[in-house]
Amino acid sequence: DVKVTQSSRYLVKRTGEKVFLECVQDMDHENMFWYRQDPGLGLRLIYFSYDVKMKEKGDIPEGYSVSREKKERFSLILESASTNQTSMYLCASSLPGQASYEQYFGPGTRLTVT
């Protein structure tokens, strides 16, 4: 059974803290994605990576960075958390190169910044 796991289901952080969200997939997928999900806005792409140490900005990269040191792991970093980053964060992975390939999602991390 394919698996994408995320390090935390729920996280509460204070404004200004540095926050790490970890994602691991066991499917040997080249592509990995970070989305945030907000009511009425659907999923918005923050960053994606198509290979180790490679990354591309998505639609809303401001305030975020990512790291991909190993193929199976993709980390999202909030350098200085702010209240407007309170959201559900979803990680996904997929096979490379084809628009026809579906994405496999983790269970999500609900982050609250106070």
Instruction: Please report, as ranges, the residues that interact with another protein according to CB under 8 A.
Output: 4, 9, 35, 40-43, 45, 50, 56, 90, 92, 97-100, 102-108
Minimum Å distance from CB 103 to another protein?
7
- Residue among 17 and 45 whose Cβ is closer to another protein: 45
Minimum Å distance from CB 16 to another protein?
29
| C-alpha–C-alpha distance, residues 47 and 43, integer Å | 12
Minimum Å distance from CB 46 to another protein?
13
